[in-house]
Amino acid sequence: MNHAIVAEHLSKRFDAVEAVSDISFTVDKGEIFGFLGPNGAGKTTTINILTGLARPDSGRFAIDGIDCTERPAKARYTIGVVPDESNLYPELTGFDNLCFCAALYGISKSEREPRASELLERFGLKDAANRRFGGYSKGMKRKLTIAAGIIHNPEILFLDEPTTGIDVASARQLRQLIAELCTGGTTIFLTTHYIEEAERLCQRISFIVSGRIVKIDTVESLLQPFQDRHVLRVACESAPHGIEDQLAKRFPGLVFHRPRTETISIEAESPIPAGAIVHFLEEQNIEVFEARRIKPSLEDVFVRITGIEADAMSMNNKKGVGS
Amino acid sequence: MKLWIAFCNILAKDMRTYYLKPPNISWGLIFPLAWTGMFFIRSGDQFSGIQYLLPGVVAISILFGTTSMLAVAVTFEKKQRSFERLLLAPIPLEVLMLAKTSGAILFGVANAFVPVIMAAFLTDLSGVSWGVFVPAVVMIAVASTFMGLFIAVAVSEVFEAQTFSNFFRFPMIFLCGLFFPISQLPVFLQPLSYALPLTYGVDMLHGSVHGNHSLPFMLDLSILGAYCIALFLLSLRNIRKNWIA
């Protein structure tokens, strides 16, 4: 039995909104499985169903081989959950928060105190151990929340948007910790809207849009169809409307897009004549700042499959629209 | 054993985080003291009147001490989502909610003895039947706490919890026989009095302190117990329905 999580035809509706619609997937033991989608796509609802905080309207799911559809509490010793908000107790210190979370799993004082100290050390929070959680920075809060999620050594960890809203250095540290947990044998179910993060961390990725899974595959397989494509991105001063049509007429066989007013994106099956394009633009009195060949990324795959611009997705999340 | 560890730690955390906070201790002391002072002074020189006021003052101290504290604590944790952490723990919901409510019950019992201690200095309490008084105090604390739980589950904001608590509490002061017998209420209000759990607890308190009570102690205790079970089960049902939807 290699599956840590099996979900079959899960659906969940909130009044008129179908939050999750007939989704099925499996997560292998020891892998980092990415659940990628914009806000309101159904990521958190899926986590809530799998962890027992919400009941599916239909479908079944199993955690570590235990059918949890009717009784999700059966697998609670096996799972750890890190919600999208750092929800520890602001009045308690970092150390006391970890000890309390361990006690919820019935871990005795003699075991939980050394475990809490070990995790504080590992997450770089040793010096803040006796400070109140309410006074922690956002990055520290996320770290302690993740530490609380693994205090009982769960086999499966659900991470909901672990790096949202924290600084670059803290996010980097957290990604390193997540990778270490996976190396240690923990299965990780990761929801994120940061495509790069998913690409770096996950072995397999599922794209979810409007409650439906539109694609599940390994990162390599998702990127494969794009490997033979050539992409050039030209940064220039604000080009006049219709410049992409002029370019298409001048360079037949190339596909031109304008993701932003100051960017022209060119795609082709064969190498792109960058110099000629730059020269053409300059002839039109458009100042070119940069022309860069782009390696196909998961972002391109995501945009192609879902039709959602990745930038728009990130902006949406930064604004905190929906959930 | 694992459940016991979880239970004790939830109780200890709540005591530390909510009930044993200095402002709360002072509230827990000042509030019953104020009630006690107000009513005892009103009784003038007739210190024997204190024995007739004591059951009402004890009941009101428990009622106000428990309902708002629990409703606010649970609503606050629900609001900041730390309650989810408890719901995700491998603890049966029944045990979890008993652990969450036990702090408020202890707080309510402690509140009850503030007026008792004060009364002990002013009048002779040797005639009090403590074997009835103490179970009555505990059962009133349990019923009031479970009422607070019921309120907490029904609202989503802390201020709503306070407002909703008062909606139940203030009528109870007049309807449950705290300071004057139910028989003196208008006839149309009397059925309402007997629909409120506090009536039965207060009847036990009156009986234990000065001997005047209208129902047998065991009947009072049984009805109060039935209210406690009903309120607890109803709250659990609402938690399952609304919070694990």
User: Is the confidence at residue A85, as pLDDT, over 60?
Assistant: yes
> Going by C-beta distance under 8 Å and a sequence separation of 6 or more, which residues neighbour residue B207?
B129, B132, B213, B217, B220
Nearest to B2 among A81, A83, A106 (CB): A106
Tell me the mean pLDDT in the region A262-285.
88
Residue of chain B whose alpha carbon sits nearest to that of A103: B6
| Count of CA atoms in the C-beta half-sphere (13 A) of A39 | 15
Domain of residue B207 covers: 2-242
* pLDDT of the residue at A300: 77
Mean of pLDDT over chain A: 87
CB A228 within 8 A of CB A295: no
Enumerate the residues of chain B whose CB falls inside 8 A of the CB of residue A85: 81
Preferred mutation among A64, A104, A157, A159 to probe B, highest tally of B CBs within 10 A: A104
Over residues A112-163, the pLDDT tens digits come to 999 999 999 999 899 999 999 999 998 899 999 999 999 999 999 999 988 8
Residues of B near A (Cβ–Cβ under 8 Å) read 1-3, 5-6, 8-10, 13, 16-17, 80-82, 84-92, 244-245
Among chain B residues, the shortest Cα distance to A104 is held by B6
A24 closest CA partner among A74, A54, A58: A58
Phi, psi of A266 (to 5 degrees): -120, 130
What does each C-alpha distance from B149 to A203, B67, B226, B231, B235 come to in angstroms? 45, 8, 16, 8, 7
Secondary structure of residue A206 in the 3-state scheme: strand
Is A110 in CB contact (< 8 Å) with chain B? no
| First-last CA distance in chain A | 34
Q: Give, for B7, the enclosing helix (H) or strand (E).
A: helix B2-14
Given a cut of 70, is residue B28 above it in pLDDT? no
Report the number of distinct structural domains present in chain B: 1
Residues from chain A that touch B5, judged by Cβ atoms under 8 A, are 103, 106-108
pTM: 0.82
- The residue of chain A nearest to residue B90, with distances taken between CA atoms, is A76
CA A215 to chain centre: 15
- How many angstroms away from the CA of B156 is the closest CA of chain A? 17
Mean pLDDT to the nearest integer, B36-59: 73
Q: A228 pLDDT band (50/70/90 cuts)?
A: confident
Q: How far is the first Cα of chain B from the last one, in angstroms, to the nearest whole number? A: 30
Pairing between β-strand A32-36 and β-strand A187-192 as defined by DSSP bridges: parallel
- Neighbouring residues of B64: CB distance < 8 A, sequence distance ≥ 6: B31, B111, B169
Report pLDDT for B98: 95
- Residue of A22, A34, A317 whose CA lies nearest to A179: A34
Sequence-separated (6 or more) residues with CB below 8 Å from residue B239: B93, B97, B153
Domains and CATH numbers, chain A: 3-224 (3.40.50.300), 228-295 (3.30.70.3190)
Q: What is the rounded CA–CA span in Å between residue A213 and residue B170?
A: 53
Residue of B nearest to A107 (CA): B2
If you search the block for the tokens 């402002």, which residue do you land on?
Answer: B23
User: Could A104 and B2 be called an inter-chain contact, meaning their C-beta atoms sit closer than 8 Å?
Assistant: no
Which pLDDT belongs to residue A9? 95
Q: Quick one: pLDDT band at residue A319, thresholds 50, 70, 90? A: very low
ipTM value of the model? 0.86
Q: How confident is the model at residue A182 (pLDDT cuts 50, 70, 90)?
A: very high
A20-29, A259-268, B86-95, B213-222: segment of lowest average pLDDT? A259-268
pLDDT digits (tens, 9 = 90+) for B75-104: 888 888 899 999 999 999 999 999 999 999
